[in-house]
Structure formats: C-alpha cells, structure tokens
Structure 1
Amino acid sequence: MILRAALFLILGLWTGAASAETDPAEAARAAAQMLEDASIALSEAESARDRVRALSDTVHAFEAGLAAMRDGLRRASAREGEIAARLKAREDEVSQLLGVLQTIETSPPPVLLLHPSGPLGAARSGMMLAEVTPELKAQVDRLARDLDEVRRLRALQQNAAETLQQGLTGIQQARADLSQAIADRTDLPRRFTEDPVRTAILVSSTETLDGFASGLSEIAEGEISETAANISSLKGELPLPVQGVLLRRAGQADAAGVTRAGILIATRPRALVSSPTAATIRYRGPLLDLGNVVILEPQADLLFVLSGLQEVYGKTGEVIPAGSPVGLMGGANQEIGAILSTSGDGSGTERSETLYIEIREGDRPVDPETWFRTDKDG
C-alpha cells in the first residue's frame, strides 16, 4: 500500500516537472528510486533492525518526493503567471491578430482579391501579404503554444490535490509503521540501563544544559561501559539530522537578541530526525525549556544535543546505527489546500518547525558547523 501510493505520487511529480523545469523531475526520479530500494529492503528485512532501516528510508523518500512536488507546483504556478503577464501585455496585439484572422476567415475570396488600384495594386498587395503571412502564422503559433501551456499548467495544479493526498496518506502510514517497528526492536546493543529515578532527580535539579550534560553519568544503573568509537575522520562531513535549511548559526542573535552556542534548522512539520552517525542514546525526553531532547554520544567526550522534537524514539543506553530515527518534529500535517498555496508563493512558510543542534566536546560547546555540512537545502 505504501509503495503503491508512493509510485502514484512520483508519477504526478514527473508530470508536474515536465511542465515546469528539469530539477523537480530529477528530484522525483531520485525519490522514486529511494522508494523502490526501500520497498525491496522492507520485503527482505529479516530483523527488526532491518525493518526500521527500510521504513526510515521510506519516510525519507516520501519527504523528498513531497518536497519535489511542492517545488514543481511552485514553478508551474510561477510559469503560468509569467505567461499570463506576457499575454496581458500583448492584449491589444492579440486582439488585432484575432481580428485579422477573423477577417481572413469570414471575408469572401473575391473581396480579398480586389484592389482599388487595379490588377497591379492587387499584385503588389499579394506580394506584401505573402511576406506578412509567415510572420502572422508565427504569431498565431506562439499564441497557441502559450495558451496550450497555460491549459496544461492549470490541469497539473487541479490534478495535484489527488496526487498529494496519496503522498500524505503514504507518509503517515510509513511513520506509524516506523514507530511500531522501533517499539518492537530488541536487537540493539546497550552500554547501560537507565535509572528513571536518578534521571528524574537530575532533570529537576539542573537549570542549564551544561549542568545536565555534566551529570549524565549519574542516570545509569551501575557502570556505563567504555566505547572505542571514533568519528574524527567524519568531522565537517556529517549530514544534518533532518531535512531542512540553516536558519541561525552558532552565536547569531535571534529576534530577542538572545545568542546560543548551537545552530537552528528550519524543517517541515513531522519531519523525521535521524542520528547522523552511530551513537549511544545518552538521554531522551523533556528537558528545561528545550522541549523534547535527544542527546547522542558518538564517541567518548562528544555529545550531539538535538532539541525541539515532538516525539522521541529509542531507549536510553542503546547503541544505534548511523541513520537510525531518533524522533519526529512537531506541527500538524498541512492540508492539501495550504500545500498548494505555499507551492505558489515560494515563501518558505511550510518550514514552520525548528530543530536546535548543539555539540559539546568535553565540557564545552563547539560550533556544530565544524561537524555538519550545512551548505545544502534539505
């Protein structure tokens, strides 16, 4: 059911892209391949871990596909507006052209051949008409192409609602299946087991992220096993945990003049957040004024703090593979009408959620852009 809805979505994307520009078509083909690969992996999954990975890829593919559709519709709407403005500017010219065509079509042949100057004038007039006719035909052809393109663009946008509904239904089902698969997963290694009482005491007794991070070792039942993991070679090359755009850099003041040590990523509602590398989940849950937080430890003395999620996945102490889902962003799924409207204005208001990312090396924060690639729009 998921794949069927997905393929329907991608077919709609190709149609939209063909009426606009090539970039959405390429994005749609990539999303289609992602969905196909995820479907194969899902059918071959033998463990809960494999199923989680395949469903994560499915959700990411849907996110990419819906983004490509929004882009294609935005371009289609802009193209329709461009053609409409051009036709409006040529309104008088088009009216005259239509008048000439109507005259040629309705006037009887003898009248067209008569000329006040006699046969010589008629001959000269015929020569002039022979020169004008190709240009007249070219204008008619251009007008016909413009009108035909407007019709195709409008048909695309009218059909988009049904295609979007298929895509939205598919991604909602994929998210639900993913959440269940994570709950069923029991085959991950664990470095420690969380003590919920100690965790609650630490959460209630700390007032800053610094204080909480320094007390993480206190929330375990017994000792936390050592790790030999080292991701230093990936520094500067890690993908962002979520598809989105960089909204605010480390140390950059917000509208209230407040600066933070991390970066802020603007995402679409319900976007999937994944671990950029293999890591231990050191904490998951509400914290301070940061909303739901996931703290990952890829290697000793290195913490990735992700905050602002609505749902968090996994269990504290688990060692998760790279790309594992750790939560979903908040917000409500957009209605179809809102998506189509957003596609038309290109304002970017569809990225209404924000993920805050802070990286701590030892006991101090460092600029996340030293670890993550932030130069691309997700």
Structure 2
Amino acid sequence: MKRLCLILALLAGPAFAQSAGDAAQAAADALEAASIQLDQAESARDRVAALTGTVRAYEDGLAAMRQGLRAAAIRETELSHKLAAQEAEISQLLGVLSALGGQVQPQTLLHPQGPLGTARSGMLVAAVTPGLADKAAALRSDLQEVTALRELQQSAADTLKEGLAGVQAARTELSQAIADRTDLPRRFTEDPIRTEILIASTETLQGFASGLSQIVENEVPENLPRIAGQKGTLALPVRGVLLRRAGESDAAGVTRPGIVLATQPKALVTTPTAATIRYNGPLLDYGLVTILEPQADLLFVIAGLDEVYGKAGQVLPAGSPVGLMGGQALQSGDILSPNGDRGGAGRSETLYIEVREGDAPVDPLTWFATDKG
C-alpha cells in the first residue's frame, strides 16, 4: 500500500494535469487513512466499515493511477513525436555544438580575411551561441522528461500488481467480514415461500415493489430518521458515469424510469444512507437486485449486481456495502494502456437505479447528486 501511495504522490506532481494530480493525492491520503482505520478496527462493525473504506480507497487510487498514467503516456507520445519531427534539426544542432566545443571564445577563431573578418565572425558566433545554448537546454529538458515518464510508468507497472492484489484481498476480506457480522438490527424476517409466490405472480418491478409488505413476518416499525432534507445531495451508490437518464431509450429501444451508470468491473456498491433491506436476490430480467427502504414509502432499487450482501430485514448504516458489480477485474496492462481502457472495457458494467416514492417511480436525479447536471 505504501508503494501505491508513493506512485500516486508522484502522479500528483506538476508534470500532470491538475485534476489528475488532485485525484492522485486524495487517493493516496484515503489509502493511508483506510490502512490506519483497518489496523484499529476491533468489532465486526468497525471491520466492515474499515474494509469498505479500504476497497473504495483502492478503487479511487487505481482510477487515479489510470488517469495519471494515461496523461503520462499521452505526454510521452507528444514529446516523442516532437523529437522525431526535429530529428534533422537536432542532428545539425549537435554537429554545431560539437564543432564549437564547450568553451568557444570568438577571439580564438581566425578568419582568412584578417582581423576585420575575425571580428565579424566573432560577433556572429557571439550572437548565435546563446540561441544554440537555449535550443540545447530545451532539448535536454525534453529528453529528461521522456526518461522520467518512462521510469515512472515502469515503476507504476510494478506497483500496480501490489495494488490490484490488495483490492482483491480487501474485497475477499470484506465479504467474509459481512458474513461474520451479527450486530445489525433486524426489522422483519423474510418469508421465502411468500417471496417465491410474489416473484412468480408479478411481471413488473412495480408489481413486485407493491407486494413487498406481503412477504415479511414479525415486522416492527422503523425508527430511521427521514431523509427529505438530503434530497438531491445523496451520493450515488457506486463510482460511475451517468450513461442513461430516466426515460431515455437503450439500444433496444426500451425505456425505464431509472438511470443507468457505467462502472468499473468489480466496483463496490454501497447504500447512500441508512436503510432497511427490503429484498435481496434475482428479480425478473434485472439480474441480482437490492431494494433499500431509507424511510417509509421510499424505495431505492439497485439492479445489475453480480454479488449481493446482507439479508432482507437488516437495517444498514449509511455507507454500508450492499454488493459488487460483475465483470473481470482489471489487470495492470489495462490500466497502463495509453488508450485508458481495454477496448472500451474500462467501464464495462452497468448498474440500474430506480427510485420509487409511494407506488410510483420518480427521477433518481431528484435524490442523487451527479457530476452531470
């Protein structure tokens, strides 16, 4: 983890775009903080929270490395093309500098036309020499930057193996910590038979959501605070890019009232606020689904997961993991690629989010904050 932090700190240097540098520095700080939190975790609850922070920090760190290394690769390519285009000029410059030597003095150059010619040639050399020196300095700077960029990328390639192994280990530990956790309050017990009957008898998400109250036993009133004051400011459940808005058609011409996010493979999905798990499992054509209830008559439907955490009836604190995205975990070559992803597979997974108030869907962007307004 320390080596990954070091590379991130290097990427935060002035050679890169400010946004990439800021992201790298923030990720390095988060990695260190997560490491300390994990070392200090004692209870199962603390360990789940610490591991959640660790996975998120690794995800952000690897994303920052991806961004920074892509910027480094682009910069190296630019400099290489620039040097290649100036190859003839550079050869001529090197020849002139070699002929003049390191300590040219105009008065030592004798001209066949005598003192006057010598004086004129001396003045000419004196005028040209600073320009040649400037060109040589600029060339030396470009060559040094190319060398530094190549060394940085090589160092990052070695460190990426550590980072990718670290995030995978953290995901595995997180899954185990969630399985071992027993301190979560329980609002109800799910009746599996009623659940199967409800799934078999409904053809739409709306029908299933309307019947959620029928599949529970021994339900107690919720005591979670209402979140109306957070409307429009909630963080998205996963790091991702808005792919489709509510009501926009997909490639097959299908429209749905929720939004679709493009995410990295194996990205961690968390609950944006404290909520009760109303349902966990496969549903219709949505894949694995988690339905969260942060308050009465409000549901967050999160669909398209590859793995779900927790059990129906459990009350989760804000920021708790609810599942993982699918796909094949990134390899070091994917992140080091100058194209920034593996043939477009950088954000190969999609997560569907639907928000239901009462018995009707609403635009999720009225609840969640995104980078795209």
TM-score by length of 1: 0.93
Shift of 1:125: 0.6
Question: CA separation in 2, counterparts of 1:345 and 1:197?
Answer: 44
* Deviation per residue, 1:52-76 (Å, 9 max, x gap): 1111011111111101100110000
Question: CA separation in 2, counterparts of 1:346 and 1:333?
Answer: 11
Structure 2 counterpart of 1:373: 369
* Deviation per residue, 1:282-334 (Å, 9 max, x gap): 00111111111000000000000000110000111001000000000000112
Unmatched 5+ stretches in structure 2: none
Question: CA separation in 2, counterparts of 1:188 and 1:311?
Answer: 19
Shift of 1:110: 11
Does 44-53 or 64-73 show the bigger shift?
Answer: 44-53
Unmatched 5+ stretches in structure 1: 1-5
Question: When the two structures are aligned, how many residues end up with a matched partner?
Answer: 372
Question: CA separation in 2, counterparts of 1:345 and 1:52?
Answer: 30
Structure 1 residue 216 and structure 2 residue 174: aligned? no
Kept in 2: contact 1:302–1:361 (CA 8 A): yes
Question: CA separation in 2, counterparts of 1:98 and 1:329?
Answer: 56
Structure 1 residue 39 and structure 2 residue 35: aligned? yes
Say which SS state the counterpart of residue 350 (structure 1) adopts: helix
Say which SS state the counterpart of residue 24 (structure 1) adopts: helix
Structure 1 residue 293 and structure 2 residue 289: aligned? yes
Change (3 A) 1:114 1:26: same
Question: CA separation in 2, counterparts of 1:99 and 1:345?
Answer: 43
Structure 2 counterpart of 1:121: 117
Change (3 A) 1:344 1:43: closer
Structure 1 counterpart of 2:79: 83
Say which SS state the counterpart of residue 327 (structure 1) adopts: strand
Question: CA separation in 2, counterparts of 1:81 and 1:35?
Answer: 30
Q: How does 1:138-157 map to 2 (within 5 A)?
A: 138-157=134-153
Question: CA separation in 2, counterparts of 1:342 and 1:289?
Answer: 36
Question: CA separation in 1, counterparts of 2:117 and 2:203?
Answer: 97
Question: CA separation in 1, counterparts of 2:28 and 2:330?
Answer: 22
Q: Which amino acid aligns with 1:204?
A: A
Kept in 2: contact 1:78–1:344 (CA 8 A): no
Shift of 1:112: 7.1
Q: Which amino acid aligns with 1:239?
A: A
Q: How does 1:93-172 map to 2 (within 5 A)?
A: 93-105=89-101, 113-172=109-168
Runs of 4+ in 1 over 4 A off after TM superposition: 108-112, 342-348
Does 126-135 or 26-35 show the bigger shift?
Answer: 26-35
Structure 1 counterpart of 2:232: 236
Question: CA separation in 1, counterparts of 2:26 and 2:218?
Answer: 47
Structure 2 residue aligned with 1:13, among 8, 16, 20? 8
Does 277-286 or 77-86 show the bigger shift?
Answer: 77-86
Question: CA separation in 2, counterparts of 1:111 and 1:123?
Answer: 7
* Deviation per residue, 1:103-149 (Å, 9 max, x gap): 2249x999972323211111111011111101100000000000111
Q: Which amino acid aligns with 2:245?
A: R
Q: Which amino acid aligns with 2:187?
A: R
Say which SS state the counterpart of residue 250 (structure 1) adopts: coil
Question: CA separation in 1, counterparts of 2:105 and 2:25?
Answer: 55
